[in-house]
């Protein structure tokens, strides 16, 4: 059972929580689900190193709380940097940009539906940015790194080795000299799997690497899972990453 279903959905309510937390009546449910998807696409499309985006809503007072976990906080500083004209902090500029995009999205929908699909006039948006120090202990960041390597036409085995060098954190020459891989103390296991036309081969296949233990059946295991795709000249490659953190 644990090997067939999505590991995150399998553990909801045990070690995992929903990425969106709010209640709504049947009339408003659909529009909030679609808007949550739009918010996530807006953030991940503009910034790199985003691990996850959690959204909380208080519809009574029209308040949205967006919590962004990032492994690359410098990218926020680079994209939303201060200017001589605008001296706001990068986090405030990021919030203003997101608020503007949401309002634009709502106004377009109102025109399209020819009604007050979003009757709310004011938007109370709160943005929290939570930088993560050890980003290579997060499945999302590992998967994004593998995608980046494969899209640069780096051979998949070298991409896998580079990924595990980054996870280890020591110098490459030390790892190669002693031929041993050491997981960070926060992790119990890591598995990376790549599928598709690897290195442009005619027949698609699956390859990967695993270090440590990956208990898919154990519901109490703090297991993180991510699936991403890499667009290469030979077609799309699927990347799956499992990370088990110590409880």
CATH 3.30.300.20 residue ranges of the chain are 7-131
Pairing of strands 235-245, 187-196: antiparallel
Locus of tokens 């960041």: 141
CATH class of 135-245: alpha beta
pLDDT in tens, the chain (247 residues): 567 888 998 999 888 999 999 998 888 888 899 999 999 999 999 888 899 999 999 877 788 999 999 988 888 888 887 654 565 788 888 999 999 999 998 888 888 766 677 776 678 899 999 998 888 999 999 999 999 999 999 999 999 999 998 888 776 666 665 567 788 889 999 999 999 999 999 999 999 999 999 999 989 999 999 999 999 999 999 999 999 998 7
CATH 3.30.1140.32 residue ranges of the chain are 135-245
Q: Selecting from 3.30.300.20, 3.90.870.10, 3.30.70.3450, 3.40.190.10, what CATH number does the domain 7-131 have?
A: 3.30.300.20
């Amino acid at each position: 059972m644990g090997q067939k279903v999505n590991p995150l959905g399998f553990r909801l309510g045990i070690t995992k929580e929903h990425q969106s937390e709010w209640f709504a009546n049947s009339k408003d449910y659909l529009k909030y689900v679609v808007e949550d998807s739009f918010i996530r696409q807006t953030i991940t499309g503009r910034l790199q190193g985003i691990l996850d985006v959690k959204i909380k809503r208080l519809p009574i007072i029209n308040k949205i709380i967006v919590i962004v976990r990032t492994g690359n906080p410098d990218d926020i500083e680079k994209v939303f940097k201060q200017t001589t004209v605008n001296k706001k902090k990068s986090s405030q500029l990021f919030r203003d940009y997101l608020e503007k995009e949401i309002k634009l999205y709502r106004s377009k929908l109102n025109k399209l539906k020819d009604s007050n699909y979003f009757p709310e006039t004011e938007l109370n948006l709160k943005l929290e940015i939570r930088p993560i120090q050890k980003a290579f202990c997060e499945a999302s960041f590992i998967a994004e790194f593998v995608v980046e390597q494969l899209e640069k036409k780096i051979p998949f085995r070298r991409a896998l080795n580079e990924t595990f060098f980054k996870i280890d954190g020591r110098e490459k020459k030390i790892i190669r000299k002693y031929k041993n891989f050491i997981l960070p103390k926060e992790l119990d296991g890591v598995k990376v799997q790549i599928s598709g036309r690897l290195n442009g081969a005619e027949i698609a296949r699956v390859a990967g690497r695993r270090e440590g233990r990956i208990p898919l059946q154990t519901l109490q295991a703090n297991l993180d899972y991510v699936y991403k795709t890499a667009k290469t000249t030979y077609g799309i490659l699927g990347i799956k990453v499992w990370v088990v953190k110590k409880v």
